[in-house]
Amino acid sequence: MLCDIARNLADDKLERIKTLENDLGLTIVAFSCRSLDAAREERVRALMEELGPQLQAEPAEPDEEQLGRIRAAEQTMGLSLVAVRA
């Protein structure tokens, strides 16, 4: 699976993320993920290891309620959302 920072989000998705950030008091990074065939995924993984970490933000520690709201938004929007410390 390959995930990268989501780009060109529709206005409604961007607004939902902003609202979620404001409601939860967290900073959220949205990722778009897709599956690759096994051989290609291995090549991409090796390249990514050479590049090093791309997102250098510390993860936040959301409580269960915050985590539930993040998961619900992920399912609705089809994105992976990560709460980070700003």
Domain boundaries, the chain: 2-84
Instruction: Identify the DSSP state of 58.
Output: P
> Which is it for the CA torsion 49, 54, 58, 63, positive or negative?
negative
Tens digit of pLDDT for each residue in 6-61? 989 999 999 999 999 999 999 999 999 887 788 887 887 788 788 776 667 888 99
> Which is it for the CA torsion 50, 32, 14, 63, positive or negative?
negative
pLDDT at 38: 80
